[in-house]
Structure 1
Amino acid sequence: MSASSRFAPMPDANGYFGPYGGQLVPPELKQAMDDIEAAYEEIRQRADFQEELASLFADYVGRPSPIFHAKRLSAQLGGAQIHLKREDLNHTGAHKINHCLGEALLAKFMGKSKVIAETGAGQHGVALATACALVGIPCEIHMGQVDIEKEHPNVIKMRILGCKLVSVTRGAATLKEAVDSAFEEYLKDPQNFIYAIGSVVGPHPFPKMVRDFQSIIGNEAREQFLARHGRLPDHVTACVGGGSNAIGMFTAFLDDEGVNLVGVEPAGEGLEIPGRHSATLTKGKPGEIHGMACYVLEDEQGNPSAVHSIASGLDYPGTGPQHCYLKDIGRVEYATVTDQECLDAYMTLSRVEGIIPALESAHAVAWAIRTAPTLSPDQHILVNLSGRGDKDADYVANLLGL
């Protein structure tokens, strides 16, 4: 199933989704970004690249990922049927491997000497370290010290895989600071390094490129659901921080007007508490961050504000420019879930279905749990279960005293 014909041509030639996106970089980086765009457009047209990527998706990642009908959870809630797109079953445990393989192959094609990236929860870091080990390119991952302490299992995996892990201690020492630090390293030699951005954010062409690699999620899911049920789901939901797993799922359904698309942002400790949530699309306003125009959470001085989420992969004060556009035109609804709702969903799915979700993914599960009882049993909710929660197990156990 091909991506949506109406929406797939976005962005325009300058990298804009409506007023969002673009390539807001220093003049010395303009050529480097254009070189990446040209190389990507060349490689994506090549049959040998597409064949290699398809082979890796099948034999290395384990695609297609299945859709699981959460029958016990659905019955317990007494409403709509809940289905899970099991991206947690991918090699490395999340959707991130989908675009990391593409970025690593692109880096190899361009002859880059080092791949640099940021990571929050560590899933992008693990996936990129894995992909770089596979193709034989040195990898350097920048990670906030707070997240290093929260996500110990992923930290160990990155080190085992051979990447250089840089601890970022400035500011809040979380995802935004990791992005800043990684970008500074990239600026030292943009001709020989490549910054493999971990979501549909940053300057053009990254929001487009990461979306294209991640669109396999929705393309598979649409085909799988039609084959099994003879119809499409009524609601499709995914968590949104930067927004890669969500845009990967939503892209295939954008033209299906009968499918309600819901992105779930982290309300953290409460939307009314500045700095203690990361609900960018809900509480932010148009601005600029990390080389793109998008919705941004800002403080009173107009700088990106402090943010918080129980899920390290979602605590970012910006979001993908295509999400911003889809919000403005009303095609996607953006809801919020608190830390407590997320934690409850994490435990509920674990104990009712035997599936431990990533805390990021548990935001989407929480929305489904909250919404299903309000719908009839003939309605279907498809959740993108974007990652598994073994990385969060120690952190959750400490929180709950398990």
Structure 2
Amino acid sequence: MSAKNLVTGGISTEGLPREDGFFGEFGGSYIPPRLQDVMDEVTRTYKKIAADPAFIAEFNDLLIHYAGRPSPVYHAKRLSEHAGGAQIYLKREDLNHTGAHKINHCIGEALLARKMGKKKVIAETGAGQHGVALATAAALMGLECDIYMGAIDVAKEAPNVSRMKILGARVIEVTRGTQSLKDAVDAAFEVYLDDPETQLYCIGSAVGPHPFPMIVRDFQSIIGREARGQFMEMTGHLPDVVTACVGGGSNAIGIFSGFLEDTDVELHGVEPAGKGLETGRHAATMTKGSVGVLHGFKSYILQDSQGEPLPVYSIASGLDYPGVGPQHSYLKTIGRVRYETATDAEAVHAFYALSRLEGIIPALESSHAVAYALRHAKELGKDKRILVNLSGRGDKDIDFIMEHYPYEGDVPSL
């Protein structure tokens, strides 16, 4: 084993982030001095264990024997026929233990917390997938776990709230502000600032002050490494397009990291257009945002003229965040990744299409990437191949869908 088994190579990590935590002009660490000392300790410890063969071996062993990796790549033939163009393949992160890609970095973060001698891990969650995954990893490692969750999401994602409590986590409902993901992040950061010595903030995406974007990316890079090899073995080719939904951006940077050096492979991130970009009820940070600072890092942000974060909205609780990971902002700036959008309506159509045609119920977050793949496949020839990172399963969303978007007919047309 070597550090290469843990971190990616090439464009994503060659000198990035820099020692100061920046990807180009994005990233960094805009936090109080007391917390900066703690972040410096996290950085030092992480860099040490990332090069430790024993840590890498334990991490990889848990991914295989506990989380259930590798997740397969699946050729969605009926969905491809429905789209009427390029062939659509799915990287099945929904088959991981806990039902999403989040378990990848949560196992790593819990191991890091144990290495640092922490008693507790804390985190925010939107859709609840990160909360469930961290509660799972905390139970495995014998750590206490507090999860901060907006009141709107607590009501919307009741199954995941129950899972977190069954696993032994304490779910703290956040009732201020918009009562959604951004406010949950605010609350968790405040608690961490009060006591950074006994607990570790295990952030749920590739966002936050350095070193969090680097840590989450590195742990999630397993998706891209697996997918690249699997796709080559299955088809004899690389995909023409790799796409993933983008909120904070952890699942997207995970799969993109395996293909960044393959310049013939187009990389497309898909943001939530919500009710429509023209309505203001969306969370399309890369599409409509501007550069600013949020939660301790510089990136594209949806903000007002005073630099305050704007209210955001998405049908998918895990995507309604007014910022995005700094590496995504960098990849947009250099033109390596194209960022597109999908509306609520498109996501719901994709949710039903994948369920009815392939027997796979996707998370609403992942449904945005499926929606874009359906749309883009029509624009490509049948000899082209699109690989979608199906980042999570839709168990958590079924009650919400049946209450607000019931549909009993045939698969709706595109």
Query: TM-score, length-normalised on structure 1?
Result: 0.98
Corresponding residue for residue 290 of structure 2: 285
Pairing 1:136-147 to 2, within 5 Å after superposition: 136-147=142-153
Pairing 1:369-388 to 2, within 5 Å after superposition: 369-388=374-393
Is 1:35 the counterpart of 2:41? The answer is yes
State the 1:299 CA deviation: 2.3
Corresponding residue for residue 251 of structure 1: 257
Superimposed CA distance per residue, residues 232-286 of structure 1 (whole angstroms, 9 cap, x where no aligned partner): 0000000000000000000110111100000000000111122x10000000000
Is 1:327 the counterpart of 2:332? The answer is yes
Is 1:360 the counterpart of 2:376? The answer is no
Corresponding residue for residue 71 of structure 2: 65
Q: Which residue identity does 1:182 align to in structure 2?
A: A
1:124 to 124, 127, 130: 130
For the aligned residue pairs, the C-alpha RMSD in angstroms reads 1.0
Corresponding residue for residue 312 of structure 2: 307
Contact 1:4–1:254 under 8 Å retained in 2: no
Query: TM-score, length-normalised on structure 2?
Result: 0.96
In structure 2, distance between residues paired with 1:401 and 1:214: 34
In structure 1, distance between residues paired with 2:373 and 2:11: 28
Q: Which residue identity does 1:377 align to in structure 2?
A: K
Q: Which residue identity does 1:219 align to in structure 2?
A: R
Is 1:83 the counterpart of 2:85? The answer is no
In structure 2, distance between residues paired with 1:361 and 1:381: 14
Corresponding residue for residue 337 of structure 1: 342
In structure 2, distance between residues paired with 1:220 and 1:328: 27
Corresponding residue for residue 163 of structure 1: 169
In structure 1, distance between residues paired with 2:306 and 2:347: 31
Is 1:49 the counterpart of 2:55? The answer is yes
State the 1:228 CA deviation: 1.4
State the 1:360 CA deviation: 0.2
In structure 1, distance between residues paired with 2:149 and 2:123: 9
Q: Which residue identity does 1:59 align to in structure 2?
A: H
Pairing 1:198-213 to 2, within 5 Å after superposition: 198-213=204-219
37-46 or 286-295, which moves further after superposition? 37-46
1:193 to 191, 199, 207: 199
Matched residue pairs, number? Answer: 401
297-306 or 323-332, which moves further after superposition? 297-306
In structure 2, distance between residues paired with 1:189 and 1:198: 19
In structure 2, distance between residues paired with 1:46 and 1:19: 30
Q: Which residue identity does 1:296 align to in structure 2?
A: I
Corresponding residue for residue 400 of structure 2: 395
In structure 1, distance between residues paired with 2:83 and 2:256: 25
State the 1:4 CA deviation: 3.6
Residue 104 of structure 1 aligns to a residue whose secondary structure is helix
Contact 1:245–1:386 under 8 Å retained in 2: yes
In structure 2, distance between residues paired with 1:271 and 1:375: 25
Label 1:394 to 1:375 Cα distance change in 2 as closer, same or farther (>3 A): same
Contact 1:4–1:253 under 8 Å retained in 2: no
Superimposed CA distance per residue, residues 33-91 of structure 1 (whole angstroms, 9 cap, x where no aligned partner): 00000010111111111111111111101100000000011122221000000000000
In structure 1, distance between residues paired with 2:32 and 2:163: 34
State the 1:355 CA deviation: 0.3
Q: Which residue identity does 1:23 align to in structure 2?
A: S
Is 1:236 the counterpart of 2:261? The answer is no
Structure 1 runs, 4 residues or longer, greater than 4 Å off: none
Task: Give the fraction of aligned pairs with identical amino acids, expressed as a percent.
Answer: 61
Contact 1:113–1:137 under 8 Å retained in 2: yes
State the 1:400 CA deviation: 2.1
Q: Which residue identity does 1:381 align to in structure 2?
A: I
Corresponding residue for residue 114 of structure 2: 108
1:153 to 132, 140, 159: 159
